[in-house]
């Protein structure tokens, strides 16, 4: 660890919170160099929905490499690309009646977001984009311009242009429909808000604090987009690929976005891979206009196809997620209310959940205590005040319960050791 700290840039972040050297990983566990085992409820910030080293994908990858399968090919046509496209089209798009062209972007989520913003601007001829408070879309310049968090925005070192932020669902309190405000400014020629090319949003804000948009809000937003000729971009990078209980987070929400951005768990094995889904009439790119050396990672094509064929050709995984989601939500509600405060809110859907600890220090102390006790999880929200849980969708019930036991024990330790109770009460009274 000392060597890493000495050699690696100051920009490193997760390894500061979990200061051990990890060596191995399997399923829902990470194992450090000393052999200590940790439950992994961070899961690569949502990149490991099927767990670490999933044996089904691992076998395919090893066989493929042993057979001299192609690993790098720019965007040449390869067998693994063809098979992925066929599988994605047949098992993901067709059963959901979705008609999208598939664009392979550079391997990071933020590159796919850049592609979505570029094509939306190109097609509409407009420059402005509307993003939402607490939204997170990545840290390259176009994406960070659409990201609310001032810490990440500050890292840009230049002005961030052409994005207007509007209040997300619930931002002004539960009783205020923020779409009314958006409608008002779009209708008013003197609002100072130019007609945008697109809106970009997450259906559940993963980094922003597990804020969940209701289907009613999403539908009203879509209606507004249709009325004003604005494109709707859904960033499903963190909460897609089954995280919320369905493959796409917007399924059953009554919307059909014009553009969808995917990454993280798409490859199913933690391999870098991103794509942009575009309604066919939006596919106005000239060949190579948005490109990248590592578009279309063939090992990721293979792993992603394997994951789709294994997990998404039956209803089994979805049923499992529903069951485990109930365990997760019930346990979290109970432990938060009993051990922290009855005013604590637990938010979540499917297998993405957060405990809003109100105080950053409290969330951070719980995260630290969990690490000491053998559970890795993340904090999120505007002030990092939400403890976030992203267990693998494939975790067993027993493992999930054990991980949650550690969380509960850690919360108890933290609440017993310090004066958080008093601080929390003061904060709640103030609010």
| Binding flag, residue 137, ligand PLP (CB under 6 A) | yes
| Binding flag, residue 391, ligand PLP (CB under 6 A) | no
Q: Which is nearer to ligand PLP, 32 or 162 (CB)?
A: 162
Q: Which is nearer to ligand PLP, 235 or 356 (CB)?
A: 235
Q: How far is the CB of 335 from ligand PLP (least distance, A)?
A: 26
Angle at 290 between CA 116 and CA 312, to 5 degrees: 55
Q: Figure out which of the listed residues 30, 43, 92, 113 binds ligand PLP, where binding follows CB under 6 A.
A: 113
Q: Which is nearer to ligand PLP, 236 or 320 (CB)?
A: 236
Angle at 342 between CA 341 and CA 347, to 5 degrees: 95
Q: Which is nearer to ligand PLP, 235 or 320 (CB)?
A: 235
Q: How far is the CB of 218 from ligand PLP (least distance, A)?
A: 15
Handedness of CA 234, 237, 241, 246 (dihedral sign): negative
HSE-up (13 A, CA, CB side) for residue 225: 26
| Binding flag, residue 136, ligand PLP (CB under 6 A) | yes
Q: Figure out which of the listed residues 60, 114, 202, 320 binds ligand PLP, where binding follows CB under 6 A.
A: 202
Q: Which two tokens stand for residue 239?
A: 């909460």
- In the bound state, the residue with its beta carbon closest to ligand PLP is 109
| Binding flag, residue 297, ligand PLP (CB under 6 A) | no
Q: Which is nearer to ligand PLP, 25 or 45 (CB)?
A: 45
Residues whose CB is less than 8 angstroms from the CB of residue 352 and which lie 6 or more positions away in sequence, other chains included: 46, 204, 206, 210, 238, 239, 243, 244, 388, 389, 390
Burial 349-371 (b: 16+ CB within 10 A, else e): bbbbbbbbbbbeebbbbbbebbb
Q: Which two tokens stand for residue 320?
A: 């499992």
Q: Which two tokens stand for residue 290?
A: 């948005």
Q: Figure out which of the listed residues 78, 110, 134, 298 binds ligand PLP, where binding follows CB under 6 A.
A: 110
Scanning 94-102, 233-241, 298-306, 408-416 for contacts with ligand PLP by CB under 6 A, the matching segment is 233-241
Q: Is 9 helix (H, G, I), strand (E, B) or coil?
A: coil
| Binding flag, residue 105, ligand PLP (CB under 6 A) | no
| Binding flag, residue 109, ligand PLP (CB under 6 A) | yes
Q: Which two tokens stand for residue 164?
A: 């207007």
Task: Round to whole Å and give the CA distance between 366 and 406.
Answer: 11
| Segment 302 to 331, residues that bind ligand PLP, using CB under 6 A | none
| Binding flag, residue 85, ligand PLP (CB under 6 A) | no
| Binding flag, residue 263, ligand PLP (CB under 6 A) | yes
Scanning 102-110, 340-348, 401-409, 421-429 for contacts with ligand PLP by CB under 6 A, the matching segment is 102-110
Q: Give me the torsion for CA of 238, 239, 242, 248, rounded to 10°.
A: -110
| Binding flag, residue 384, ligand PLP (CB under 6 A) | no
Q: Figure out which of the listed residues 42, 237, 241, 358 binds ligand PLP, where binding follows CB under 6 A.
A: 237
Q: How far is the CB of 263 from ligand PLP (least distance, A)?
A: 5
| Binding flag, residue 257, ligand PLP (CB under 6 A) | no
| Binding flag, residue 238, ligand PLP (CB under 6 A) | yes
DSSP 246-291: SSSTTTTTT---SEEEE-GGGGSSS----EEEE-GGG--PPTTSS-
Which has the closest alpha carbon to 276: 388, 123, 394, 149?
A: 123
Scanning 115-123, 199-207, 309-317, 387-395 for contacts with ligand PLP by CB under 6 A, the matching segment is 199-207
Taking residue 73's Cβ as centre, other Cβ atoms within 10 Å add up to 15
Residues engaged in binding ligand PLP (CB under 6 A): 45, 108-110, 113, 136-138, 202, 206-207, 235, 237-238, 263
């Amino acid at each position: 660890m000392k060597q890493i700290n000495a050699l690696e840039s100051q920009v490193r972040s997760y390894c500061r919170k979990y200061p051990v050297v990890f060596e191995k990983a399997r399923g829902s566990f990470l194992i450090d160099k000393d052999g200590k085992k940790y439950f992994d409820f961070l899961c690569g910030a949502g990149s490991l929905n099927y767990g670490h080293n999933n044996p089904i994908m691992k076998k395919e990858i090893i066989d493929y490499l042993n057979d001299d399968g192609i690993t790098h090919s720019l965007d040449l046509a390869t067998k693994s690309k063809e098979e992925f496209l066929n599988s994605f089209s047949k098992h993901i798009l067709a059963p959901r009646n979705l008609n999208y062209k598939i664009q392979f972007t550079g391997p990071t989520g933020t590159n796919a977001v850049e592609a979505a913003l570029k094509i939306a601007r190109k097609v509409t001829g407009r420059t402005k984009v509307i993003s939402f408070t607490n939204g997170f879309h990545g840290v390259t310049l176009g994406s960070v311009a659409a990201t609310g968090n001032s810490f990440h925005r500050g890292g840009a070192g230049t002005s961030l242009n052409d994005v207007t932020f509007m209040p997300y669902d619930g931002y002004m309190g539960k009783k205020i429909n923020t779409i009314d405000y958006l409608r008002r400014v779009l209708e008013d020629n003197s609002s100072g808000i130019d007609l945008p090319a697109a809106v970009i949003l997450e259906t559940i804000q993963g980094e922003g604090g597990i804020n969940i948009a209701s289907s009613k809000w999403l539908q009203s937003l879509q209606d507004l987009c249709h009325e004003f000729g604005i494109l709707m971009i859904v960033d499903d990078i963190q909460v897609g690929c089954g995280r919320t209980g369905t493959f796409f987070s917007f399924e059953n929400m009554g919307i059909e976005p014009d553009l969808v951005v995917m990454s993280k768990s798409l490859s199913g094995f933690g391999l870098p891979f991103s794509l942009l889904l575009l309604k066919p009439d939006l596919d106005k790119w000239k060949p190579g206009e948005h490109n990248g050396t590592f578009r279309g990672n063939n090992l990721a094509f293979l792993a992603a196809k394997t994951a789709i064929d294994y997990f998404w050709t039956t209803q089994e995984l979805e049923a499992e997620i529903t069951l485990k989601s109930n365990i997760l939500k019930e346990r979290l509600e109970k432990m938060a209310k009993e051990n922290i405060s009855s005013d604590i809110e637990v938010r979540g859907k499917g297998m993405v959940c957060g405990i809003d600890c109100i105080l950053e220090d409290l969330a951070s102390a719980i995260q630290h205590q969990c690490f000491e006790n053998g559970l890795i999880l993340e904090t999120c929200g505007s002030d990092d005040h939400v403890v976030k849980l992203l267990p693998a969708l494939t975790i067993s019930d027993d493992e999930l319960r054990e991980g949650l036991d550690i969380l509960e024990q850690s919360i108890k330790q933290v609440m017993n050791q310090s004066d958080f109770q008093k601080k929390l009460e003061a904060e709640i009274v103030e609010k």
